[in-house]
């Protein structure tokens, strides 16, 4: 089962490593086999990686049949993290987001079933931390859709969120701060969170794997630490930005170093 449907105490933590989306023209030169039909790109990517963060759901509303199609095209154990629709997060008063949150959650995401990973709520870089309004938003987030438990990751981008008060508030509502490796946005971690969600955004075009193998080894060490010990927990890592053309190679190198071979069964 995906982390969305597991208890945090599950002794078999999942390591999910992937990229943002699966449609990107440069990947047709260095990731997808030459001549691969565009309609087969998700099928191929999901057999080289173990997860994908879907950006399209941030901009558009998809139908239940689309989520079911994604589910059926990917192998057992694969996970989709979904970016929630921006209408829920791009607003001056977050406490008024209830209708937009419900519209997204009820749009058919439950069709992903056990392939539904965390939902990512991404806020504008200009959105500062206002504790009262932000708590009102967190109180609106549902814990379930159908019989699926939901897990929520908070991608906050204003430096005012880099405070223990925000981490404590997120924890109170069972939400997890996204840890962002970036020059632009704060890196916020909660060592007590129920799962870890990392977005790695420093890929370099002149490095074949985006991050050097030595840097990836450091991330691999962190993943092993998180998924072991007295309280093993799930980890989601996405090579998401920077030199985006290098993202698949970086994700596959991290999987290789972790010995986490993706399922390639048809």
Residues spanned by the domain of 230: 3-258
Judge whether 265 lies within some domain. Answer: no
How many angstroms separate the CA atoms of 46 and 239, rounded? Answer: 15
**What is the predicted pLDDT for the residue at 249?**
97
Judge whether 264 lies within some domain. Answer: no
111 sits in the region (left: phi over 0; alpha: psi -120 to 50; else beta) called alpha
Kindly report whether the global pTM for this prediction surpasses the value 0.85: yes
Judge whether 25 lies within some domain. Answer: yes
- For the cut 60, the answer to whether the pLDDT of residue 203 exceeds it is yes
Percent of the chain with pLDDT over 90: 91
CATH number for position 166? 3.20.20.410
Judge whether 39 lies within some domain. Answer: yes
**What is the predicted pLDDT for the residue at 261?**
77
Note whether 61 and 103 are within 8 A (CB): yes
Q: How many CB atoms are located within 10 Å of the residue 44 CB?
A: 18
Judge whether 43 lies within some domain. Answer: yes
Domain count, the chain: 1
pLDDT tens-place string over residues 102-159: 999 999 999 999 999 999 999 999 999 999 999 999 999 999 999 999 999 999 999 9
For the chain, the residue count is: 266
Question: Mean pLDDT in the chain?
Answer: 93
Judge whether 183 lies within some domain. Answer: yes
Judge whether 69 lies within some domain. Answer: yes
How many angstroms separate the CA atoms of 109 and 120, rounded? Answer: 13
SS (H, E, C) 159-208: HHHCCHHHHHHHHHCCEEECEEECCCCCCCCCCCCCEEEEEECCECCCCC
**What is the predicted pLDDT for the residue at 19?**
98
Note whether 182 and 202 are within 8 A (CB): yes
Of 244, 205, 199, residue with least CA distance to 16 = 199
């Amino acid at each position: 089962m995906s982390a969305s449907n597991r208890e945090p105490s599950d002794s078999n933590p999942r390591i999910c490593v992937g990229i943002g989306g699966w449609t990107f023209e440069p990947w047709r030169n260095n990731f997808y086999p030459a001549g691969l039909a565009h309609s087969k790109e998700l099928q191929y990517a999901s057999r080289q990686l173990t997860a994908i963060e879907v950006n399209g759901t941030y901009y558009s509303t998809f139908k239940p049949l689309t989520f079911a199609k994604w589910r059926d095209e990917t192998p057992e154990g694969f996970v989709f993290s979904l970016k929630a629709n921006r209408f829920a997060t791009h607003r001056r008063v977050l406490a008024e987001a209830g209708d937009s949150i419900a519209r997204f959650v009820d749009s058919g995401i439950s069709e992903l079933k056990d392939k539904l990973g965390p939902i990512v709520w991404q806020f504008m870089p200009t959105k500062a931390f206002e504790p009262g309004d932000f708590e009102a938003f967190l109180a609106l987030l549902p814990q379930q859709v159908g019989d699926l438990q939901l897990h929520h990751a908070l991608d906050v981008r204003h430096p005012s969120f880099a405070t223990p008060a925000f981490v404590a508030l997120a924890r109170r509502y069972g939400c997890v701060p996204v840890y962002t490796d970036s020059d632009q946005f704060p890196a916020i971690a909660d060592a007590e969170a129920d799962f870890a969600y990392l977005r790695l955004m420093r890929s370099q075009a002149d490095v074949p794997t985006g991050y050097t193998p030595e840097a990836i080894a450091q991330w691999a060490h962190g993943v092993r630490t998180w998924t072991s010990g007295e309280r093993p927990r799930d980890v989601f890592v996405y090579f998401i930005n920077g030199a985006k053309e290098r993202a698949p190679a970086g994700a596959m190198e991290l999987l290789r170093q972790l010995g986490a071979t993706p399922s390639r069964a048809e």
